């Protein structure tokens, strides 16, 4: 029974105030599925959230009745309509009868979008086969007029459509669509036309993510602020040789370059598909970024040796985030771009986040601190043990740590070097020597691309490592040391020491993969 108003606590009154409760439930930490079960009132507030994280999940793999549509159709009669504001649909059937599964998945997805179409604001679809794409086309053609976000993730390994579709019937206007994301390993005729149509009828797109090889006409896009060209599963040599594609890329950047706040040519994989084959294309590539990008604040270019960006960087004034790297291990283009910045005394005072991939000259580190004085997040990743000349990389752990001491604004430090020192005692001493770096940091993460394994730390090494942990306790939020493995006995002693010093155990994520098993 509900308590009289005078007997209710301030917390109870607040949690029955729709305005206060709405603000609480907007927090990402609020488990909306659980909150719905508290009361009818809470359920009503959850379902009324304007940008709910709650979604209707159509996961075809785990369905109890994959071949019988009746239970699913019956569920749609009983379901609360507002649950369809956001739909996550996944079809991961890999059986020999995958066409049957895909057809069933497509039919159910079309049915849901038809029944609840006016409510659907977010469509997040993950499929394995291109044969599902016509169903998505039908949905956009006939349903979901209020769609705000569309994400299609496809791990297509081969085309399943006939390729005969020369034209597609134009979609109705999608005035409210602001975010469009496509993931695909293939560039097929149907998918190319599909992307072209989505962009054409969505004049208010703000964020677009498409794979390399898709170059829709953005002439109708007047609000585009973010363009991401994903490079997953793309061979750098193929990019370098594709002069027609570079021309198309120049065309679309000419259309929207002056609007962009974010521009990315990159891949979120841990390692881009670098090549070592000789191919002389640097002087032949006619691609240049447009200089007129005055709004650009976030720029990523993982292939500076293919897509030239030095001219743009000399004119950049608004950059806040810069990520640059090279695709070819033997290329010196990245070094040339950085050296040009340093020689011209260019200062990027607005840049607070800097990531550089595959540099080998430690002298650049001092220059980076001068050119980027206000960097708060520094991310350095050097994979190779040799530089573009074939010489040994100078990016040793101790050299990098020592060089970055004194970067006054630095809060987040994340580096990966080719190797740690060969002996574990040298690694520990190197970390101890860098104790001044830890002061003022919020996060500290290091790894090497070669693992170090030691069954047991000797007594003097353990004592020295304890000094390192005490020094690292100055880091505020997180300390991660990856690719160093100790035996179970040593790990236990280290963890016991952290507890005995009343340090925050969660902060020291230094054994993310556990102890080494012998």
Q: For residue range 8-54, what is the model confidence (pLDDT) as tens digits? A: 676 666 677 677 777 776 777 777 677 777 777 877 776 777 777 77
**Alpha-helix runs per DSSP H in 116-188:** 133-142
CA gap 378, 356 in Å, rounded: 8
Work out the number of other CB atoms within 10 angstroms of the CB of residue 510.
21
pLDDT at 513: 53
Read off the pLDDT band of 516 (50, 70, 90): very low
Beta bridge partners of 324: 301, 356
Structure tokens given for 337? 């771009």
Instruction: Report the mean per-residue pLDDT for the chain.
Output: 83
φ/ψ of 259, rounded to 5, equals -95, -25
pLDDT at 286: 61
pTM (two decimals): 0.86
Q: Average pLDDT of 242-252?
A: 85
Q: Which of 13-22, 115-124, 276-285, 398-407 has the lowest mean pLDDT?
A: 276-285
64 versus 180: the higher-pLDDT residue is 180
Contacts 24+ apart (CB under 8 A), 140-143: 140/171, 140/174, 140/197, 140/198, 141/169, 141/171, 141/172, 142/114, 142/117, 143/110, 143/113, 143/114, 143/117
514 versus 1: the higher-pLDDT residue is 514
pLDDT at 284: 52
Q: For residue range 369-425, what is the model confidence (pLDDT) as tens digits? A: 999 999 999 999 998 888 888 888 999 999 999 999 999 999 999 999 999 888 889
| Three-class DSSP category at 176 | coil
CA gap 501, 503 in Å, rounded: 5
Q: Average pLDDT of 430-456?
A: 90
Tell me: pLDDT of 474 over 80: yes
Q: Average pLDDT of 75-91?
A: 80
Q: Average pLDDT of 444-465?
A: 88
Read off the pLDDT band of 270 (50, 70, 90): very low
Q: Which of 219-223, 232-236, 411-415, 419-423 has the lowest mean pLDDT?
A: 232-236
440 versus 35: the higher-pLDDT residue is 440
CA gap 477, 134 in Å, rounded: 47
pLDDT at 64: 45
Q: Is the dihedral of CA 484, 489, 494, 498 positive or negative?
A: positive
Q: For residue range 156-209, what is the model confidence (pLDDT) as tens digits? A: 666 555 545 556 788 899 999 999 999 888 888 888 999 999 999 999 999 999
Tell me: pLDDT of 431 over 80: yes
Q: Which of 55-64, 241-250, 272-281 has the lowest mean pLDDT?
A: 272-281
Helix or strand run (H / E) with residue 339? helix 333-343
Structure tokens given for 25? 């439930």
CA gap 41, 46 in Å, rounded: 9
Q: State which of 143-157, 196-210, 493-507 shows the largest mean pLDDT.
A: 196-210
Work out the number of other CB atoms within 10 angstroms of the CB of residue 315.
12
Spell out the residues 6+ positions from residue 194 whose beta carbon is closer than 8 angstroms to its own.
133, 136, 137, 168
Tell me: pLDDT of 334 over 60: yes
Q: State which of 157-166, 288-297, 403-412, 449-458 shows the largest mean pLDDT.
A: 403-412
CA gap 66, 291 in Å, rounded: 54
Domain locations along the chain = 1-54, 445-518
pLDDT at 175: 95
């Amino acid at each position: 029974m509900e308590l009289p108003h005078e007997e209710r606590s301030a917390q109870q009154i607040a949690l029955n105030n729709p305005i206060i409760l709405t603000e609480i439930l907007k927090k990402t930490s609020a488990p909306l599925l659980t909150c719905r079960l508290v009361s009818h009132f809470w359920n009503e507030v959850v379902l009324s959230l304007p940008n709910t994280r709650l979604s209707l999940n159509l996961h075809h793999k785990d369905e109890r009745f994959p071949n019988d549509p009746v239970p699913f159709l019956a569920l749609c009669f009983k379901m609360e309509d507002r649950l369809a504001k956001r739909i996550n649909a996944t079809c991961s059937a890999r059986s020999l009868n995958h066409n049957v599964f895909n057809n069933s998945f497509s039919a159910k997805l079309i049915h849901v979008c038809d029944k609840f179409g006016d409510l659907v604001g977010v469509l997040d679809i993950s499929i394995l086969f291109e044969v599902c794409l016509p169903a998505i086309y039908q949905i956009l053609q006939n349903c979901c007029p209020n769609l705000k976000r569309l994400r299609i993730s496809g791990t297509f390994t081969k085309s399943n459509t006939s390729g005969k579709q020369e034209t597609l019937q134009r979609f109705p206007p999608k005035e409210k669509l602001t975010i469009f994301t496509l993931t695909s390993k293939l560039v097929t005729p149907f998918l190319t036309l599909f992307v072209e149509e989505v962009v054409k009828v969505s004049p208010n797109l703000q964020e677009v993510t498409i794979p390399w090889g898709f170059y829709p006409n953005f002439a109708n896009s007047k609000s585009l602020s973010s363009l991401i060209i994903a490079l997953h599963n793309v061979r750098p040599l193929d990019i370098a040789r594709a002069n027609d594609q570079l021309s198309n890329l120049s065309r679309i950047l000419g259309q929207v370059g002056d609007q962009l706040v974010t521009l990315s040519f990159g891949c979120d994989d841990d390692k881009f598909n670098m090549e070592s084959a000789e191919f002389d294309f640097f002087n032949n590539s006619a691609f240049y970024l447009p200089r007129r990008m005055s709004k650009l604040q976030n720029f990523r270019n993982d292939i500076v040796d293919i897509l030239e960006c030095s001219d743009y960087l000399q004119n950049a004034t608004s950059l806040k985030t810069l990520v640059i790297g090279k695709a070819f291990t033997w290329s010196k283009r990245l070094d040339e771009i950085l050296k040009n910045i340093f020689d011209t005394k260019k200062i990027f005072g607005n840049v607070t986040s800097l990531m550089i991939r595959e540099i080998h000259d430690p002298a650049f580190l001092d220059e980076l601190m001068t050119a980027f004085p206000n960097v708060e997040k520094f991310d350095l990743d050097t994979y190779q043990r040799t530089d573009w000349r074939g010489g040994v990389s100078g990016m040793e752990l101790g050299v990098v740590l020592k060089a970055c001491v004194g970067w006054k604004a630095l809060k987040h430090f994340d580096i990966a070097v080719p190797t740690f020192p060969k002996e574990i005692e040298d690694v520990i001493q190197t970390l101890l020597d860098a104790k001044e770096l830890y002061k003022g940091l919020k996060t500290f993460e290091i790894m090497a691309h070669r693992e170090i394994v030691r069954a047991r730390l000797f007594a003097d090494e353990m004592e020295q490592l304890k000094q390192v942990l005490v020094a690292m306790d100055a880091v505020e939020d997180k300390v991660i040391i990856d690719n160093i493995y100790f035996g179970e006995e040593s790990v236990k002693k280290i963890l016991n020491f952290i507890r005995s010093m009343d340090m925050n155990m969660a902060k020291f994520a230094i054994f993310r993969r556990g102890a080494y098993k012998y």
